[in-house]
Structure 1
Amino acid sequence: MRDLVLRAANLALLVLYPVAWAAPLLRAGLLPLFALDEISVLTGLQSLWRTDIVLALVVTVFALFAPYLKTIGLALVQFGLLDRRALPVLAVLGKLAMADVFLIALYVTLAKGIGIGRIETAWGLYLFTACILASLVIGMIEDRKG
């Protein structure tokens, strides 16, 4: 029963990640009187690709590829299609994905500290963080099953 729940939770992440990528991470505005623009992982990446290709590539790996590849790899392990010896590599992918959440939190903290404009966190940041943390927990449980 526990294995079934873990498999279902991991497969749910394959749907929840794209939702989290499109969901608003934060709302930002230059002045308190004007409307706030919503920023998602995808809109942030679109902007980065136009201005800083190297940073865009790094963030794309952290935000999109690392968590999704880890989730797919973990599903393959859970269904016996990938050897359990791949779990340490999948754990590294999970840590890379967590680095992205850290970077977003750092940017929000810096922007608030500078005091120019306004930044509010939105529900997508919590969903994205929950997906990453759920993936890490599922991976740790899978690893302990050994």
Structure 2
Amino acid sequence: MQVHSYLFFEGRCEEAIAFYEKVLGAKRGMLMRYGESPEPCPEGMLPPGSEDKIMHGEFTLGESMVMASDGRVSGKPKFDGFSLSVDFTEVAAAEKAFHGLADGGEVNMPLGETFYAKTFGMVKDRFGMNWMVIVPKEMPGD
């Protein structure tokens, strides 16, 4: 069994994927727009003019695939209750990613050393997505 994250950006999916390509080095995969669907969406599901919005998309971060969509295009994404955690091996790379994610977003916990990490911080990006950025320390017994 595998579990994948599926993020709904409520009309900003393509912008979000481009942002993650720039900031995190994400690799864009398959994209299907609502107008390309072999079956039409149920009546009233999407606002008029949503044909070019993303029905389903995929991108990879390192070895992890993330799926994404514009969803119902309400314009109000809400990513409460979870975060995506991104592990780095170098502090400089973690700092670059963290500051990139924080651009236009909100720092919830500044990057800093902890008992379990060379550096760790939490940030909500400009799309409302919560991220944890970490360079773990080797712990006794590892």
With structure 1 as the length reference, what TM-score do the two structures score? 0.31
Structure number with the bigger relative contact order (C-alpha 8 A, sep ≥ 6) is 1
* Structure with more helix by fraction: 1
* Structure with more strand by fraction: 2
With structure 2 as the length reference, what TM-score do the two structures score? 0.32
